[in-house]
Amino acid sequence: ARPEELKPEVEVREPLVDIFDEKEEIIVVAEMPGVDEKDIKTGLKGNILNISAGSKDRKYTKEVKLPSKVTGKIESTYKNGVLELKIKKKK
């Protein structure tokens, strides 16, 4: 293969993330345009939230330290390139 035929590496970006510390839950909003909801993965280890997503053109990855202890239950919605996660706090 000639060098010009090789596909360039997909750049990994950090999504812009906002964290809202509410009374009962923590809301994490991440801007991740250009990916499908099915390609988004989230995971919790203690109070560290990992968000990653990828398509053929874009890759996102972000590690977020949450301000409180959480239960581990994540409710997510993805609309217009914005991922919203609601994570219940431990009582």
CA distances from 13 to 44, 54, 57, 62, 86 (A): 20, 10, 11, 8, 22
The series of mean pLDDT values per 10 residues for the chain, 91 residues long, is 59 94 97 94 95 91 96 94 97 85
Please identify which residue in the block is written with the tokens 């994570």: 87
pLDDT of res. 3 = 54
Neighbours of 43 (CB within 10 A): 12
What does the pLDDT look like over 53-72, one tens digit per residue? 988 888 999 999 999 999 98
At the topology level of CATH, where does 3-81 sit? Immunoglobulin-like (2.60.40)
What element of type H or E holds 28?
strand 25-31
Q: Where are the domains of the chain?
A: 3-81
By percentage, how much of the chain surpasses pLDDT 90?
78
